[in-house]
Amino acid sequence: MHYTGFVLDTFNTFDLFPLANVEVGNHFYWHIGNLKLHGQVFLNSWLVIALLLIVSVAATRNPKQVPTGAQNLMEYCWEYLRDLARSQIGEKEYRPWLPFVGTLFLFIFVCNWSGALVPWKVLELPEGELAAPTNDINTTVALALLVSLAYFYAGFRKKGLGYFKKYIEPTPILLPIAILEDFTKPLSLSFRLFGNILADELVVAVLVFLVPLIVPIPVMLLGLFTSAIQALVFATLAAAYIHEALEGHGAEEEH
């Protein structure tokens, strides 16, 4: 069992010499000019998106009064995500944000499970192999930045320039702390998801190498459970951040 791992490069702004380079495992890269992309991350992400689209089309193609099969699964997912968004964002505000929160949860959930359930060795790459996109720090950072943009947009759309009053209330002395908080939110989201998925795949890879028969199975099952929990945590925190941006001054004015 090979492990795709991650790459973290830090470059000097002026001379572009690498200051730090940490790499685990073999990787399949696409080279576009001077740009180097993780090919296995893109391929697996597109496969996950294709799977979600296929299930969505199958569930809505011929809807029935008594749902069965894919329609039943999709309706269950929709009800679960609706309750999640409603509980975190609120009854009056959750509907416009349900597609965003639901898409985050489903994409991360399927990505996490794709690294453990699907025998990717049926698709041979020149080097490395397909693995969960969420074990790459670039994927989790991109998802976290989307959440940051979402809650900034939510707050600004509802309150206008008044949204930025939160940075200087109750006192302007707290301005640096409020700004720091906006940086720590995406950092915590991205590193929590990345670290858990990376650690799980590393543990499974080591156990499969050392004792390839029975011992890794319980760890793999535990990994499936924790992968689902990580998707839920990410979506729940995203909804909570959006709710935080929507409340505050707007909520006080309503009361």
Tell whether the model's pLDDT for residue 112 goes beyond 70.
yes
Burial bucket for residue 218 (CB in 10 Å: 0-12, 13-18, 19+): exposed
DSSP state of 247: S
Q: What percent of the chain has pLDDT over 90?
A: 29
CB neighbours of 178 closer than 8 A, spacing ≥ 6? 166, 167, 168
Q: What is the pTM of this model?
A: 0.81
Per-residue pLDDT band for 215 (boundaries 50, 70, 90) equals low
pLDDT value at residue 249: 45
